[in-house]
Amino acid sequence: MNKDENFISDIQISLSKDSVMTSGLLTLDLRFKIEGKIREVFDQKNWERAYDKHDNSFRVAIQLEVRSGRRTVLATKFVRKASLFWTRNPKIPYRIWATIIKDEGTLIPSSTEEARSLLFNIDKSIELDSKTLKIGDNKITVSITVSWGKHVYTEPVKISNKSEGLKVSRKE
């Protein structure tokens, strides 16, 4: 990989169970990381530069498409956001810092590395209705698309990747 590229890595999916009855929910746990240049440039020095130019937020849009074979069984979208603010907190030795908004919660990281981890390491649970699967064996895959816009420290980017397939059976 080129050091100036961004990519999705370490994709892991797991199922709550290998088989599901006709009426029921199947929980899919998805984990992956957004890596590359964006992780490198998302640091306190660039937060300060961006804040001084009124570029106070960074939004990452994540689209997931869960497929069973060739059929899409669930399409969903969610957002992670970093908001830059002027701090007077004595525990933070910098003038500008970031809060991370994820899953309707706001977190204030204690280090730049923690901010990167909160923003770019994704751990998501997805519930699938078993009625969306065909009776018998199904191969579940997840297509991931991540995008963000232009900022002082990055150009607009759209990256994609796909998980390995997992087998699940739907019983009558």
Q: Which CATH number goes with the domain that contains 60?
A: 2.60.40.10
How far apart, in whole angstroms, are the C-alpha atoms of residue 9 and residue 104?
25
pLDDT digits (tens, 9 = 90+) for 14-70: 987 777 776 778 889 999 999 999 999 999 999 999 999 999 999 999 999 999 989
Domains in the chain, number: 1
Structural domain contains residue 1: no
Angle at 164 between CA 116 and CA 169, to 5 degrees: 125
Summarize the confidence of residues 2-21 as an average pLDDT: 83
Element (H, E) at 158: strand 157-162
Structural domain boundaries enclosing 127 = 6-171
Structural domain contains residue 144: yes
Please report the pLDDT score of residue 104 as a whole number: 81
Please report the pLDDT score of residue 123 as a whole number: 95
pLDDT digits (tens, 9 = 90+) for 76-117: 999 999 999 999 888 888 999 999 999 889 999 999 999 999
pLDDT digits (tens, 9 = 90+) for 112-152: 999 999 999 999 999 988 888 888 889 999 999 999 999 99
How far apart, in whole angstroms, are the C-alpha atoms of residue 51 and residue 48?
5
Q: Is residue 170 classed exposed, middle or buried when 0-12, 13-18 and 19+ CB atoms within 10 A define those classes?
A: buried
As beta bridge partners, residue 102 has 105
Whether the model pTM is above 0.75 = yes
Structural domain contains residue 143: yes
